Amino acid sequence: TDPSETISRESIKAVGTIAMNLGQTADGLVERLLSFLDMQMDHVTAETYIVMADMMRCLPDQVEKCVDALASMRTVEVVNPEAREAIVWILGAHGDKLQEAPYILENMAMAFDEEEVRVQLAMLTAAAKLFFKRPPECHRLLTDVLEKGSESANQDVHDRSLFYFRLLKKDIQVAAQVLGSNPPTTATFAEELGSELKETLFKEFNSLSPLYSEPATNFIADDNEIEYEHDLYDLEAVEGNASGGENKGGAAYADTNLLDLSDDLSDATIATTTTTTTAASNGAPTPEATRLEADPMALLDMLDVEEPASGAGAGVEQGIRLNPSPFMDAGKFQQLWGSLGAQETFAVSSPNVRAKMPELSNQMKAVGILTMASGGQEPMYKFYQYAQLEDNSAVFLVELIANTTQGGGMLSVTCKSDAQHQSCLKSFASFFQSSLTAYVD
């Protein structure tokens, strides 16, 4: 009740910190902390919610008490963005124990566009998480926030909305594991680390240091302490000669490399991709499709939100549905290029071809067509690209040759696929031509 908001907030943080350090013996402090919610003071209530969220992450044994304290909540009245974010996290993580959780989030979603970015991101996650716990009550909520998030001008909100949408659409079981799992218990927070250690961890963020909460010097040996028993590449060469000199992985690159480009891809990756492509081309159902067909809840039927178009294909009517994230290695591409029998060709001319060349790969990527390799110099450029149907049943390869001297610019395109997908290839070639024309015009 101190008249200074700063002192009040710091006092509440101190109570929470002591409680989290005491662990299972913190019952009295937890009850004292929850009593702050009855003081009807905005800054006290806001800080209490923030500390509650942290405490529920650290002390799962105290979750029940915190949930009981929120049982009478019907609306979120605090205005502090950090406090609103904390409440949304609690409703998403523990909404199966709070009867009003979906309806509180629905009310907040009505003003989604007016919330701070941190609150919007928390609402997307909370809605997705609660959807798997209470699907009948949350399908409208999830649809609403996904639609509004996908239209957001903020890149983080937009990208998270699309990620959740595509994850739900691709594999409902994986989505349930990723989004619907219980929150892990947190032992410590970054704020508790010393400033020197924190600075070191951020400098080594792309390493194991943040996982161990220690600088790399504590767990990585110096070079003079490491003993090398074999040279990996020499060993592979010896093994290759012993087996008759056969090296399937290297042959694909050395003999038929279309642009004389190379990628360091392992034989295991190539074998995995080959197996997947073969199974798909034979018409065998993918494991994802089998799981979706067997899903008794038919959760995705509740989601009537449409994935928004973006990038170069925003104004193009797409007759086929492509995998937004296809995968293929260089060796497989070159193997298929020489064996696929079905072929479609077309040409696109425009005076803007020369100016459009630098961003061609990025624009086609936006519609699901990725570039395997590219090269050349003025006035001739060559691109090798690939795409897959959404269900991975067919793969399409593309050779695009750009000539920037003929009437301002000419794009000559050859599309390939296997013979049994001739009709799909025609649709793909038509879509590719429309997308290309929309970009260069």
Q: Mean per-residue pLDDT for 101-129?
A: 94
pLDDT of residue 185: 67
> Is pLDDT larger for residue 111 or for residue 208?
111
pLDDT at 182: 76
pLDDT at position 191 is 52
User: Residue 287: its pLDDT value, please?
Assistant: 45
How far is it, in rounded angstroms, from Cα 412 to Cα 236? 42
Which neighbouring-strand residues pair with 267? Answer: none
Q: H/E/C letters for each residue in the chain?
A: CCCCHHHHHHHHHHHHHHHHHHHHHCHHHHHHHHHHHHHCCHHHHHHHHHHHHHHHHHCHHHHHHHHHHCCCCCCCCCCCHHHHHHHHHHHHHHHHHCCCHHHHHHHHHCCHHHCCHHHHHHHHHHHHHHHHHCHHHHHHHHHHHHHHHHCCCCHHHHHHHHHHHHHHHHCHHHHHHHHCCCCCCCCCCHHHCCHHHHHHHHHCCCCCHHHHCCCHHHCCCCHHHCCCCCCHHHHHHHHHHHCCCCCHHHHHHHHHCCCCCCCCCCHHHHHHHHHHHHHHHCCCCCHHHHHHHHCCCCHHHHCCCCCCCCHHHCCCCCCCCECCCCCCCHHHHHHHHHHCCEEEEEEEECCCHHHHHHHHHHHHHCCCCEEEEEEEECCEEEEEEEEEECCCCCEEEEEEEEECCCCCCEEEEEEEECHHHHHHHHHHHHHHHHHHHHHHC
380-388/395-403 β-pairing: antiparallel
- The 10s digit of each residue's pLDDT in 327-361 is 888 888 888 888 888 899 999 888 888 888 888 88
Whether 257 has a pLDDT exceeding 70, the answer reads no
pLDDT at 290 over 80: no
Q: Find which of 47-51, 309-313, 370-374 is predicted with most confidence, using mean pLDDT.
A: 47-51
Which tokens sit at 236? 């592979």
Mean pLDDT is lowest, of 16-20, 235-239, 398-402, for 235-239
Is the model more confident about 266 or about 327? 327
More confidently predicted of 228 and 175 = 175
In degrees and rounded to multiples of 5, residue 117 shows phi and psi of -60, -40
pLDDT of 86 > 80? The answer is yes
pLDDT of residue 161: 93
CA pair distance 54, 241, nearest whole angstrom: 59
